[in-house]
Amino acid sequence: MRFLQYGATLVLGLVIGFATGYFGRLLFTIELKKELGLGDLLNFAAVVIFAFLLQNYLQKHFSDSRVEKDHLIGIIGQAQDTISQIRKDFFDAFSKKKLSAEYKAAVVIHFRNLSNSLDLLRAALGQCGYEAEADKCAELQSLYVEYKRQITGGSFPTGPYGSDVLSDAEKTANKLYLELTNKRIRVNKT
């Protein structure tokens, strides 16, 4: 399928090229010198060198920009994966109406990972030139503190979770996840 696409593009290019050449010859006739001077050669060399340098510069610039975006998007993905893991473990503990020692250890470690991902994201956004987005990370960190308080505050880890905790924690997790998604989209678009 890809071969057909390339082939069709090539044929179309050739047809346009021949048509332009044919009709151009009919419309215009330019008398060209049948000699090549040193100035012509230098001019040609300069064009080739400039085209080569410009192409390399643009390729590197766009390549670097893409690498940075992919790095930032990767960090955002890590944070979102951790939120998903917290939600999963929390639902499990909520439905069992019991907070086991394993759950308590795991959820605290998940929140540490989430905190570090958000911190890393803030630093990386600044380093990659997204200062405005880095400044907006305070909102993410507020949501993180709120989410952590809802899951590990109160009488954690002794008491079972009430349904009010489920409701509040889900709302906060959704907001945090959505805010990260919006940040991913904004980074990718710019």
Partner 1 sequence: MISVASQFSEVPGPRLIEEGAFSGEAFLDQQLRPAFLAAESDGATLMIDLDGTQGYATSFLEQAFGGLSREFGSTRVLKVLRFKSDEEPYLVEEITGYIGGADE
Q: Summarize as ranges the residues that interact with partner 1 (CB under 8 A).
A: 104-105, 108-109, 111-112, 115-116, 118-119, 141, 144-145, 148-149, 152-158
* Nearer to partner 1 (CB atom), residue 69 or residue 149: 149
DSSP output for 33-65: -S---HHHHHHHHHHHHHHHHHHHHHHHHHHHH
* Nearer to partner 1 (CB atom), residue 5 or residue 155: 155
> Cβ 79 to partner 1, closest distance in Å?
12
In terms of Cα–Cα distance, which of 179, 106, 99, 115 is closest to 148?
115
As a whole number of angstroms, the distance between CA 120 and CA 8 comes to 47
* Nearer to partner 1 (CB atom), residue 31 or residue 164: 164
> Cβ 70 to partner 1, closest distance in Å?
24
> Cβ 72 to partner 1, closest distance in Å?
18
> Cβ 190 to partner 1, closest distance in Å?
26
Compute the half-sphere exposure of residue 67: CA atoms within 13 Å on the CB side of its CA: 7
Q: 120: which residues sit within 8 A by CB, 6+ positions away?
A: 75
CB 173 within 8 A of CB 86: yes
* Nearer to partner 1 (CB atom), residue 128 or residue 140: 140
